[in-house]
């Protein structure tokens, strides 16, 4: 097997018979480009910021039926220092918004944000003085997950959208990512139609 | 012990007051509920409440709730605010509602924390939402919104969408975080 041919494959696709001879710095660059992103993509550590009924769906996603461990994101962390994916699930009140902002600031780079459900994204039906009308007014959001509350499949699709961002963006900090990708996911049960799948995949590259 | 006996006892003790007991609800067919409410002037509130708690026929040992109503533009209303005390006797199993009407400016009723200690947070909530002060309350601070919140949110003249409180935050960007 020629060494140069292997560069197009991720390292995990090598069988036990394959071997590679290369320069060490080339190998390091290879792993930084493909390996680290691949590892990071399948080891997202979410912080479930669950304030309402969307939190129930987050729990369902974590439980055995939907099982977010299949996507490597089952390590729910309740400390922002240990998490890199903030899932804002539920309505955010006027007293909770500074808390949410502080939690976002406390998370270490790189970090991603999912705004889950109608309330976190727009305020939902709670158009009152006490509810913030969309957390994206005051903090960055990478992926919006629609629904009231979203089905667990939809949240999983949101996590997969984050995974696609991670795969393409890798370990650059969120500052370098600018304002985020503004990705809106669609429910996964429509993905059997090929054209719909392209539609879901399409916006991920837009911000780049 | 029924509520009628309690109201009779109240009238016997406070002959000078007009309690004007009324049913909480009159059904469409004209029948009324057995649950009654009485009105008490604010200046005699603590006296009446102490009687209601300690009298043998009343024995309202539990204060279930303290809430309030803003009667602004309410048809037939004479006063602006009504503070409502919901009482329950665990001994006799009967209930009574006491209403206390106050007006602008500076609506104020005496605190019943000396009678039921549990009134503390309930009165703080009424103060927070309606701006009705409770005279003699040991710790009258806002309980749901923060100190310095500029309005009384459950008053009828406060707009539902607020006065911009939900928009006054610093914007955290990726660069500033």
The answer to whether A105 contacts chain B (CB < 8 Å) is yes
A94, B166 contact by CB (below 8 A): yes
> What pLDDT, on the 0 to 100 scale, is given for residue A59?
93
Contact between chains at B172 and A174 (C-beta distance less than 8 A): no
pLDDT tier at A203 (50, 70, 90 boundaries)?
A: very low
| pLDDT at position B33 over 90 | no
Q: Is the pLDDT of residue A115 over 50?
A: yes
Task: Please determine, for residue A145, whether its predicted confidence score (pLDDT) is greater than 60.
Answer: yes
Instruction: Give the integer Cα–Cα distance in Å for A165 and A176.
Output: 13
Contact A101 B160 (CB under 8 A): no
Give the contacts of B61 (CB within 8 A, at least 6 positions apart).
Answer: B53, B88, B89, B90, B91
Q: Could you tell me if A106 lies within 8 Å of chain B, comparing CB atoms? A: no
Task: Provide the number of CB pairs (under 8 Å) joining chain A to chain B.
Answer: 60
B chain contacts of residue A132, beta-carbon cutoff 8 Å: 166, 169
Q: Comparing A177 with B32, which gets the higher pLDDT?
A: B32
Smallest Cβ distance to A128: which of B145, B160, B163? B160
Residues B176 and B159: their CA atoms lie apart, in Å, by 33
Read off the pLDDT of each residue in A1-30 and give the average, rounded to a whole number. 60
Mind listing the pLDDT tens digit for each residue in A117-142? Answer: 999 999 889 999 999 998 988 988 88
Q: How confident is the model at residue B55 (pLDDT cuts 50, 70, 90)?
A: confident
Mean pLDDT of B46-56: 91
pLDDT in tens, B61-90: 999 999 999 999 989 888 999 999 999 999
Report pLDDT for A188.
47
Residue A79 at interface with chain B, using a CB cutoff of 8 Å: no
| Cα of A164 to nearest chain B Cα, Å | 20
Q: What is this structure's pTM?
A: 0.76
Q: What percent of chain A has pLDDT over 70?
A: 66
Q: Which of B174, B175, B176 best probes binding to A when mutated, by most A CB atoms within 10 angstroms?
A: B174
| Beta carbons of A129 and B145 less than 8 Å apart | no
Instruction: State whether ipTM is beyond 0.85.
Output: no
* Closest residue, chain A, to B165 (C-alpha): A129
Identify the residue with better confidence: A195 or A158.
A158
Partner-chain contact A140 B173, CB within 8 Å = yes
Over chain B, what is the mean pLDDT?
A: 89
A113 vs B contacts (CB less than 8 Å):
none
- pLDDT at res. A208: 34
Query: pLDDT (tens digit, 9 = 90+) per residue, A17-46?
Result: 666 666 777 777 667 667 777 788 889 999
Looking at beta carbons, which residues of chain A come within 8 Å of B175?
A: 175
As a whole number of angstroms, the distance between CA A149 and CA A52 comes to 9
Task: Give the pLDDT confidence score for residue B32 in this predicted structure.
Answer: 87
Q: Quick one: pLDDT at residue A183?
A: 61
């Amino acid at each position: 097997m020629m060494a140069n041919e292997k560069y197009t494959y991720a390292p995990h696709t090598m069988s036990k018979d394959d071997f590679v001879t290369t320069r060490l710095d080339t190998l390091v660059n290879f792993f930084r480009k493909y390996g680290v992103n691949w590892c990071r993509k399948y080891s997202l550590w979410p912080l479930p910021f669950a304030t309402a009924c969307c939190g129930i769906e987050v729990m369902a996603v974590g439980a055995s039926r939907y099982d977010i461990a299949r996507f490597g994101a089952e390590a729910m962390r309740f400390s922002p220092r240990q998490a890199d994916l903030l899932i804002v699930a539920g309505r955010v009140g006027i007293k909770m918004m500074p808390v949410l902002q502080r939690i976002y600031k406390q998370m270490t780079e790189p970090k991603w944000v999912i705004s889950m459900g109608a309330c976190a994204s727009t305020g939902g039906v709670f158009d009152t003085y006490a509810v913030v009308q969309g957390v994206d007014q005051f903090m960055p959001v990478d992926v919006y997950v629609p629904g009231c509350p979203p089905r667990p499949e939809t949240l999983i699709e949101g996590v997969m959208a984050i995974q696609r961002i991670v795969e393409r963006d890798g370990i650059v900090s969120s500052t370098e990512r600018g304002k985020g990708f503004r990705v809106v996911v669609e429910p996964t049960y429509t993905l059997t139609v090929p054209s719909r799948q392209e539609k879901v995949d399409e916006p991920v590259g837009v911000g780049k | 012990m029924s509520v009628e006996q309690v109201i009779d006892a109240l009238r016997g003790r406070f002959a000078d007051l007009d309690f004007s007991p009324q049913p909480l609800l009159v059904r469409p067919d004209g029948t009324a509920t057995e649950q009654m409410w009485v009105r008490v002037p604010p200046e005699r509130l603590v006296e009446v409440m102490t009687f209601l708690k300690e009298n043998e026929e009343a024995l309202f040992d539990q204060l279930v709730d303290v809430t309030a109503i803003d009667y602004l533009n309410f048809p037939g209303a004479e006063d602006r605010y009504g503070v409502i005390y919901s009482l329950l006797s665990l001994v006799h199993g009967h209930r009574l509602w006491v209403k206390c009407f106050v007006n602008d400016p500076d609506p104020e009723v005496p605190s019943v924390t000396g009678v039921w200690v549990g009134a503390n947070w309930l009165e703080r909530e009424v103060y927070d939402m309606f701006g009705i002060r409770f005279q003699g309350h040991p710790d009258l601070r806002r309980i749901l919104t923060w100190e310095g919140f500029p309005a009384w949110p459950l008053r009828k003249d406060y707009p539902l969408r607020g006065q911009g409180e939900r928009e006054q935050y610093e914007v955290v960007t990726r660069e500033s975080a």
